[in-house]
Each structure stands twice: as structure tokens, then as C-alpha cells.
Structure 1
Amino acid sequence: MKRIQGGVTAAKGFKAASCEAGIKYINRKDMMLIYSESPCTAAGVFTSNVVKAAPVVWDKEICNGIHPVHAIVGNSGIANACTGEQGRKLCAETAGAVALLLGIPEDSVLVASTGVIGMQMNMEAVKGGIAKMVPELSDSEDAGTGAAEAIMTTDTHSKQMAMEFEIGGKTCRIGALAKGSGMIHPNMCTMLSFMTTDVAISNELLQKALRTVVVDTFNMISVDGDMSTNDSLMVIANGDAANPVITEENDDYKTFVDALYAICEEMARMLAGDGEGATALFTVKVVNADTKENARTLAKSVICSSLTKAMIYGHDANFGRILCALGYSGVLFDPDKIELSIESSKGSILLFKNGEPQPFDEEFATEVLSQKEVIAIADMHTGNDEATAWGCDLTYDYVKINADYRS
């Protein structure tokens, strides 16, 4: 398994396009389209927020294994959430416009939106964007990059990657793109992420693979504790690699799950590191916990702590904030058994052990905490399980960005 150049067009048989549709933004791309001529199996995980955007409802119905999928169309700027019957109608009309121009069934088109909640979209702008994109569909790397750029909102850069691996003697690929910078606090996955693969796999096992890997990847990130109405992670598989179809949990399935995990983990890290206003990726590793679930809970508690996030921004080794976040997580443990340390590319520092603070050089600690990725390691000494969570620091710019997001 190796990482290769590209994104959603890296897998065989997939094309992409993007355009300026004028949905909300001026002079920037705001629509994208992904297409496979070969029919795809599809899997998805979606927001557990009770308030779900219209595209989430549309896509959940399609990712049920009944209908083959050919395309994903998405926009940025307006989320099509809290838009009532008009929003639901817009999903159908959007899928219909794509279907008409590509000659595919309407129920083979997934729809996704991101942006401001509670605003209605101009359907004429959407249809105009689709008409622009269909003739421009391409399997080039640039086309995939354009699609990744088109769904950005407050992201500072586009996010995409691809992996190559072998199944049944055939070269296979997975490509991915994602967006997400604010309103990131998942309980399934987070943000918008679309993945394409040329692996031949049943819908049932594709869905199982996605649900398996999302638990320790996208579900383990948080930027600000706010769960979106639009969170969607979808994978479509067209089988163009011509591997023996994966219909059971054999070695081929394990290879696919490993590749999917690798790409989901890296995409999750990209999202956490590009949180709104962030200057650093904050990684928390909980090791030697009594159970896997407790390790996850402890790690998520630390990355979600506003005080801990502010500590990372201030480059201040105020480790009591980390201990505090562990303590209110709901997991029972003996504080006197914990070893707590921080590390980065500059080195490692032991902060707390045997219930007591450990001596350390404040100046060196500041240097360690000033890097692009800061890692906190909490050794619980209660078992053999571990988990990792990813977040970011909390800066003044986060407030500035969100104070006037709608305007």
C-alpha cells in the first residue's frame, strides 16, 4: 500500500469537474461534480444531529444498496439546511438536472451542500453550474483538485489524497477529498468527504468497512464541539479495477479496510489541523487504558477542552488543564497512576507522574508547544487499550471568523 498523487480522479473510471455557479460566492468555484460511467455501489455515514440538511436525507435513502450510483454533485456557500419542502425539492431537481445531462437515473445521483444554514438556494444557479460542469468532466488530477477546491468554505486549503494497493493481483486505488474547518464535532464522521474507489465490493461490505474505519478516524476529531447539520462521508466503488468482487470478510476485504483506514485517518488529520483560525494540530494519545471505548472518551475529552486548546495556542505547558479534561470525561481512573507528557518535532517532556508534577524547563516546553503538531500522551496504566484523537488550538481568529460568518 502506498500513497500516490491525486484525489477523487485517481481511481480508474472516475471523472470530476468544478465551476463558478454563483450560488453565494463571487469569483470563486462553488460547485463540483464527480462521475463514473460504470455503476457504483455506495456507502455513507451521516450526521447524528436531529436537525439534518435536505441533502443528508436524500443521500441516506440512496446509500441503501438498492440503487447503483453514478455521480456526486456538491456545492459550497449555502448548506440547504432548515429549508423545508423547498430544500427537499431542490435536491430532487439538482439530481434530475445531473441525470438529464449524463443520461443516468435520478436516483443514482448523490447531492451534498455546505455553507450557511437557513438560506434557500437559487435553482437556476445550480442548474447553470451543472450545465457548465458536465462538458468539462475529466479524469485529470487537476479536475480532482478543482472539485476539492469548490466545496471549501472557511478552509484555508483544499484537502485531497489517494492510495494505491493490490487486491487479487489487480492494482486498486482509493481517492478522496474533504472539506471542513468549523462546526466540526462528529458523531459518525464529520464535514463533507467524498471517496472514490475502483475496487469491486458488495454494498453490504462497503458499508461495513466504512462504519468500521470511521470510529477511530473521522469520529475522533473535533474543532469546536459543534456538530453540523450536513456532515456526510460517502464512498462510491465502481469495480473498474476488475478484482474478484469482495463479498466476504476475507484477506481482500482486510486489505481494502486497511487502505480505507489509512486514507480516512490522514484526511481526518488534515481537517483537524485546518480548524478555523488554528495554528497547530493538537493530537492526544491515550495509552494503556482499561478499555478501547474509555481510551476514546478520554482522548476526545482533552481535544474538546477549550482551556486545553487555548493552552496549546499560548504555548503554555499548563498540564493541569489536560488532567482536568481527563477527569471530567466520565471515565473512572486513579490520577496517581497517570503519566502525562507532551512532544513535538522539537522533543518530549514528562509533565506529570505518580500523582506529582515533574520538573521541566519552561523555555524548552514553550519551544515544544510552538510546533505545527503538538502531541499529548496520557499513559493511564490501567490496561492495554489505546486511542488517538485530533483537534487544534483555539485562537482569536476562530471568534472573528464565526462572528460574521453569515455575512
Structure 2
Amino acid sequence: MKIIDGGVCAAKGFKAGSVRCGIKASRTNDDTAIIFSECECNAAATYTMNRVKAAPVYVTMEHLENGVARAIVANSGNANACAPDGMENARRMAKAAADFLGVDEEDVAVASTGVIGQRINIECIEKHLSEIVLSDDASEQANRAIMTTDTRTKTAAVEFTVGGKTCRIGGICKGSGMIHPNMGTMLSFITTDCAISHEMLTDALQENVKKTYNRVTVDGDTSTNDMCVVLANGLAGNELIDWQNEDYQAFCKALNEINTRLARQIAADGEGATKLVTCTVKNSRSEETAERLAKAVVGSNLVKAAMFGADANWGRVLCAMGYSKAPFRPEYVDVAFESENGSVAVCEKGAALNFDEELAKKVLTANEVTIQIDVHEGEHAATAWGCDLTYDYVKINGDYRT
């Protein structure tokens, strides 16, 4: 496997582009993007588990029910969730993209992100969408168009081999706030030229989302608009993957690389965040137990605040583990903090160690900190990702709507 550039345009036959429609008056850059394949794709998707779902989620569910698609149209500035004329406007958005691209409306997935509860200005989208210039090097441009409070683009692409053929897979995503592990609270769009059936694509995506996006948390809130869509056009020319053989495993490995990279980028760019916080729990009695423990730690506001202050308050780690409802024995637990600045063990067998506070401070001031937890109960492990909690998170969300 080889890391490459290109994002959603890395795979053969995919183009992207964006335009400023004027959905939100205060926004001066592009706010609407299209990702397009030159031929029909097998498609798969996962969606938010929030019971309150935005209209674009329902429309995309309808359009991808047959397992095929050609394009994705996405906007920022308005979520079109709990909004007047929501379903009608989501369908109008799909039709506008379909008319521009010359494809069937049902072959277009629709996604939106932004403020909830306000009518989306669909008229401006219909007016300006046709101004998009599609290009095979416009992945970052499209990425920027779907950003809201994100401070940086989030992209990944890899090259891999299936049946002797070189395949590519790439993706972009957005997500900074309203992030909690319940499908992966963000928009994620992935393209590949690998030939793989809808059924196998769906299996691969649903299984991988559990171990990537579902292990990210920023603030404990699950969005109404979560969506991860994968399009596979088969232009790499490999024999169709239609069962779980070695080729399927190679594809799953590449998909995991993409989604892990994107998940980490989402966590690192949490609203107001200054550092990526990773928690790995090892030697657990099951992977599910390890995952629940790790997610509880990175999701704890007290742990997140301690990470912001570079305070080695390991008691908060055990506290979060304790209310996770996951089975473990506190008297077996070891905890250590690690970063590029070093490593410091702070707890052994559930009790305090006499550690160097200055070293601990140095470790925790790095841009990426890992909380290593050994529960000494089995052979399983899991990793979850989050970020620190800063003053800026409140500033960003105190007046988000206005």
C-alpha cells in the first residue's frame, strides 16, 4: 500500500468542483461541491443514528437503495434539518445536480451541513450550481466548500493492488463540532476505482466504520446530518470482488487506512482543540470492552480539560473507565501518558506512582498525546480518538446560529 495525493480525485474517472452559491450571506468562499464519476458506480453508505435526521439523509437513503450512484452534491452553511420544505428542497438540490451533470436524479447523493432549523436557500443553489467547473485535481477545492467550523481540510488517498491491478481509493471529510461516536458525526465521501459489488462494499464499509469513525468523539453530540458515502466505479479493471476473498481483504485494508486517517484528522480538528488525544486500551477481555473504555476516556470532559491544561490527572482516566459500564478490575489497571516528548507511567495496579511532574507536563504539551491503558485481563485492544476541551469551544458554540 502506498500513500498518495488526490483525495476523492485520486481514483480513475472521478472529478470534483465547487462554487459559492450564497447559502449563508456572511460566507465569502465556496459553499457547494460536487463529486462525479464518469461512469456508474456501486455505492454504499452509513448514516447518523440520531433519531432526528436531516432531509438530505432521507433523500440519499432513497437514492442509494438500489446500490448505484454517479455523484454526490453537498453544501455547507445550512443543514436542511428540521427546516421548512426540507424534503422538497433536498430533492430540488439533487435534481439541480442531476440536470447539470446529465444523469438521473436518483443517481445523486445529497448532503448538507450547517445551522439546523432554518430553510435552505435552494433557489441560490439552483441558480449557481451549473457554474461549477469539474476537474480531476479539485479534491481540496471541494473539501473546502463543505467546511463549517473546520480549520483545515481533511483528506487521504492510497494506492493498492488487487488481482495484479493497481487500484486507488481516496476520501475527504468534514467535521469539527457535534462529533460523537455514533456512525461518525461528520460528512465523509470516499471514491475508488476498484471493482467491488454493492454487497461487498456495504459489508466493508459497515464493518470498518465501527472501528474508525465510531471511535471518534469531540463533544458528545451526535449530528442530525452524519453520512459516509463510498462510490466504486471499477475503472481499475480488476476482477469484480463479489465475495470475501484475498482481494476483498486487500480492499478492506485500504479502506481502513483511509477511514483511520480521516477519523484522526476529525478528532485533531475538534472545535477549539489544540491537540489530538488518543486512548489505547490493551489486554482487555474483549474488543468491545476495550472500545467502550477507550471511548469513555476520550469522551470525558474532565480528561479533555486536563489534556488542555497538560495536567497528568490520571484519576480522571480511571473515573471515566469506571462509569463506562464496561467490565474491568480497577486494581489491575496501569496508565501511562505518551507523546513525541516522552513517556511517563502514572498509575500501576490502580494505584498512584511517584512520577516526575515536570516530565509529565512536557509529555502532555505535545500536539498529540496518547493515553496508554493496560487492563491485564485478556488479549484484545481498541483505540479511540478525541481532543482537548478549550475555552474556544464555548466561544465557537455560544453564538453558532447567529
Letter of the 2:90 counterpart: C
Aligned to 1:166: 161
Q: Is the 8 A contact 1:342 1:377 kept in 2?
A: yes
Within 5 Å, which residues of 2 pair with 1:157-196?
Answer: 157-196=152-191
Aligned to 2:81: 81
Moved more, 119-128 or 308-317: 119-128
Letter of the 2:306 counterpart: M
Aligned to 2:390: 395
Is there any run of 5+ residues in structure 2 with no aligned partner, and where? Answer: none
Aligned-residue offset at 1:67: 5.2
Aligned-residue offset at 1:126: 0.8
Aligned to 2:119: 120
Aligned-residue offset at 1:38: 0.5
Q: Secondary structure at the match of 1:293?
A: helix
Letter of the 2:53 counterpart: K
- Cα distance in 1, alignment partners of residues 182 and 276 from structure 2: 20
Aligned-residue offset at 1:98: 1.4
- Cα distance in 2, alignment partners of residues 219 and 196 from structure 1: 20
Aligned-residue offset at 1:128: 2.3
Which contiguous aligned blocks of 4+ residues in structure 1 show a shift greater than 3 angstroms? none
- Cα distance in 2, alignment partners of residues 148 and 67 from structure 1: 24
Aligned to 2:370: 375
- Cα distance in 2, alignment partners of residues 403 and 381 from structure 1: 43
Q: Secondary structure at the match of 2:9?
A: coil
Q: Is the 8 A contact 2:2 2:160 kept in 1?
A: yes
Within 5 Å, which residues of 2 pair with 1:97-246?
Answer: 97-133=96-132, 136-140=133-137, 143-246=138-241
2:303 equivalent to 1:308: yes
Aligned-residue offset at 1:374: 0.5
Over the residues paired in the alignment, what is the CA RMSD in angstroms?
Answer: 0.9
2:284 equivalent to 1:279: no
Aligned-residue offset at 1:145: 0.7
Q: Secondary structure at the match of 2:91?
A: helix
Within 5 Å, which residues of 2 pair with 1:336-351?
Answer: 336-351=331-346
- Cα distance in 2, alignment partners of residues 396 and 103 from structure 1: 48
Aligned to 1:21: 21
Aligned to 2:71: 71
Q: Is the 8 A contact 1:67 1:108 kept in 2?
A: no
Aligned to 1:93: 92
Identical pairs, percent: 52
1:145-178 CA-partner distances (Å, limit 9, x unpaired): 1000000000001111111001111111011000
Within 5 Å, which residues of 2 pair with 1:45-56?
Answer: 45-56=46-57
Aligned to 1:33: 34
- Cα distance in 1, alignment partners of residues 387 and 259 from structure 2: 18
Q: Is the 8 A contact 2:83 2:120 kept in 1?
A: no
Q: Secondary structure at the match of 1:128?
A: helix
Letter of the 2:195 counterpart: A
Aligned to 1:253: 248
Aligned to 2:314: 319
Aligned to 1:265: 260
- Cα distance in 2, alignment partners of residues 285 and 331 from structure 1: 15
- Cα distance in 1, alignment partners of residues 94 and 206 from structure 2: 26
- Cα distance in 2, alignment partners of residues 208 and 355 from structure 1: 39
Letter of the 2:265 counterpart: M
1:85-106 CA-partner distances (Å, limit 9, x unpaired): x110111111111112221111
- Cα distance in 2, alignment partners of residues 302 and 79 from structure 1: 30
Q: Is the 8 A contact 1:45 1:189 kept in 2?
A: no
Moved more, 325-334 or 305-314: 325-334
- Cα distance in 1, alignment partners of residues 169 and 203 from structure 2: 16
2:10 equivalent to 1:10: yes
Q: Is the 8 A contact 1:172 1:199 kept in 2?
A: yes
Aligned to 2:61: 60
- Cα distance in 2, alignment partners of residues 98 and 182 from structure 1: 28
Q: Is the 8 A contact 1:190 1:233 kept in 2?
A: no
Is there any run of 5+ residues in structure 1 with no aligned partner, and where? Answer: none
Aligned-residue offset at 1:62: 2.2
1:220-265 CA-partner distances (Å, limit 9, x unpaired): 0000000000000110111111110000100000000000001100
Q: What TM-score comes out, normalization by structure 2 length?
A: 0.98
Aligned-residue offset at 1:331: 1.5
Aligned-residue offset at 1:27: 1.4
- Cα distance in 2, alignment partners of residues 241 and 94 from structure 1: 31
- Cα distance in 1, alignment partners of residues 5 and 326 from structure 2: 42
- Cα distance in 2, alignment partners of residues 138 and 395 from structure 1: 39
Q: 1:174 to 1:239 in 2, by over 3 A?
A: same
- Cα distance in 1, alignment partners of residues 363 and 218 from structure 2: 21
Aligned-residue offset at 1:354: 2.3
1:278-318 CA-partner distances (Å, limit 9, x unpaired): 00000000000001111010000001100000000000001
How many residues of Structure 1 are paired with residues of Structure 2 in the alignment? 401
Aligned-residue offset at 1:188: 1.7
Letter of the 1:377 counterpart: Q
